[in-house]
Each structure stands twice: as structure tokens, then as C-alpha cells.
């Protein structure tokens, strides 16, 4: 019985990781860095549709960043993939990386 429990747990974990990775990829938004304002903790991104935020049309927006260290990972002109969420007072970039 103990072996069945371990196997079921392993299968559950594998499924959770698979679906979690698929969800994270679906939330990625493609864009380009237009401006960085480190002192204000903001970044201006020109991006395509951001369905995870309910935005169907491409646009350029100013976002706050969850962690100011994110701004050091990119520079103006970089093509990026990012994740954002709606928060108090606007949208917040929670993760960003240069696109491959």
C-alpha cells in the first residue's frame, strides 16, 4: 500500500509541474523595452496582446515593477518576455527576461 501512495504522489507532482509550466508559458507577454525609470521603479513596454491581463490589442504602457532588481536585467531596445498582474494603482511586472 505504501508503494501505491508514493506512486500516486509522484504522478500528482508531475502533473502539477507540467500544468504549472504550461500556465506560466501562457502568461508570458512579448514586448520591447522602450524606457526604464529606475528611480521610480517603472518600465515602459511596447507589447502585443496581453490576454492574461485582459488586453486584446497591442499597446505601449508604463508598468511598475515588483522588484527593482528586474530593471537591471534588461535595457532599452531589448525584446523581452514578461509576466504582469493587476495591482493597486495599476499593472505590475512580476517577471521579465530577454526574449530568445
pLDDT digits (tens, 9 = 90+) for 73-82: 999 999 999 9
pLDDT digits (tens, 9 = 90+) for 40-77: 999 999 999 999 899 999 999 999 999 999 999 999 99
Between these two residues, 65 and 10, which has the higher pLDDT value? 65
What is the phi/psi pair of residue 4, to 5°?
-65, -40
pLDDT over 90 at 89, yes or no: no
Residue 93, Cβ neighbours under 10 Å: how many? 23
| Max CA distance (Å), the chain | 59
Q: How far apart are CA 3 and CA 55, in angstroms?
A: 47
CA atoms within 13 A on the CB side of 15: 6
pTM for this entry: 0.73
Residue 88 has a pLDDT of 86
CA atoms within 13 A on the CB side of 56: 0
Amino acid at each position: 500500500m505504501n508503494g501505491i501512495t508514493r506512486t500516486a504522489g509522484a504522478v500528482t507532482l508531475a502533473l502539477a509541474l507540467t500544468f504549472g509550466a504550461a500556465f506560466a508559458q501562457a502568461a508570458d507577454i512579448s514586448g520591447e523595452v522602450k524606457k526604464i525609470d529606475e528611480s521610480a521603479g517603472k518600465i515602459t513596454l511596447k507589447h502585443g496582446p496581453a490576454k492574461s491581463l485582459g488586453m486584446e490589442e497591442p499597446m505601449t504602457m508604463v508598468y511598475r515593477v515588483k522588484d527593482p532588481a528586474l530593471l537591471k536585467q534588461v535595457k532599452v531596445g531589448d525584446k523581452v518576455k514578461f509576466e504582469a498582474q493587476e495591482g493597486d494603482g495599476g499593472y505590475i511586472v512580476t517577471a521579465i527576461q530577454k526574449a530568445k
